[in-house]
Chain A
Amino acid sequence: RKEVEQDPGPFNVPEGATVAFNCTYSNSASQSFFWYRQDCRKEPKLLMSVYSSGNEDGRFTAQLNRASQYISLLIRDSKLSDSATYLCVCKGGGADGLTFGKGTHLIIQP
């Protein structure tokens, strides 16, 4: 069974703080990894892909550990607008669709 596990939170974080989310996946054949952001009553939007070497996009840093089957997302200098649900997502090889975690709910407080 393909599973992606996340801490559902909520994480209540003061504005300007740094917050990190973790995610584990059970399908060792997963080849591609992503973080999506979903705002209330909206569709998920791609935040960033996660590469084996890690990647950074502004205040956001994603890391992948294949040996431990573990993905992380770090948000620095958090903004009120970062409040959302963050979905950890894995994709198997070929034309498989995406397997979503249940999401981590983040609330940035002023």
Chain B
Amino acid sequence: SAVISQKPSRDICQRGTSLTIQCQVDSQVTMMFWYRQQPGQSLTLIATANQGSEATYESGFVIDKFPISRPNLTFSTLTVSNMSPEDSSIYLCSVGDVAYEQYFGPGTRLTVT
């Protein structure tokens, strides 16, 4: 499976600011996704990152709050905008293969104060 890295691994941010999270894969992948895991909860899909076009967002998530870029087949970014304490969470990127199995990056642990 692909090797996935995320930066930063963790951050503490003040409310009202924005943070951009990077996801880098060591090989070209067709499908990339962004998930959120809030404390004590399971994972929730935020959006599918589409190469060369706008991301596809799940219900409850909007582009203005979570803008996503995917400039090529190995890299994507997720920005958490105008943060509030409710955005404190772990953000994970994942990549998918033709068998629809997905593999996750190590996550970015975000705390908003």
Contact of A101 with B100 in the complex, beta carbons under 8 Å:
no
**Given known A-B contacts A32-B100, A46-B101, A91-B100, A101 and B42 have beta carbons under 8 A apart:** yes
Among B31, B92, B94, the residue within 8 A (CB) of A95 is: B31
Contact of B104 with A97 in the complex, beta carbons under 8 Å:
no
Contact of B101 with A100 in the complex, beta carbons under 8 Å:
no
* B35 interface contact, C-beta 8 A: yes
Nearest CB of A to B105, in Å: 6
On A, residues with C-beta under 8 Å from B are 31-32, 34, 42-46, 49, 87, 91, 95-103
Contact of A97 with B42 in the complex, beta carbons under 8 Å:
no
Among B1, B41, B45, B56, the residue within 8 A (CB) of A98 is: B45
CA distance A94 to B94 in the complex (A): 16
Nearest CB of B to A29, in Å: 14
Contact of B33 with A97 in the complex, beta carbons under 8 Å:
yes
Q: Mark B90-113, 1 if CB is under 8 A from A, else 0.
A: 001010000111111111000000
Contact of A98 with B42 in the complex, beta carbons under 8 Å:
no
Chain B hits for A87, CB < 8 A: 42-43
Nearest CB of A to B9, in Å: 11
**Given known A-B contacts A95-B31, A97-B33, A97-B35, A46 and B42 have beta carbons under 8 A apart:** no
What are 21 sample pairs from A and B whose C-beta atoms fall under 8 A apart?
A: A31-B100, A32-B100, A43-B104, A43-B105, A44-B43, A44-B92, A44-B104, A46-B1, A46-B102, A46-B103, A87-B42, A95-B31, A95-B56, A96-B48, A97-B33, A97-B48, A98-B43, A99-B45, A100-B43, A102-B42, A103-B42
Nearest A residue (CB) for B59:
A1
Nearest A residue (CB) for B41:
A102
CA distance A100 to B35 in the complex (A): 11
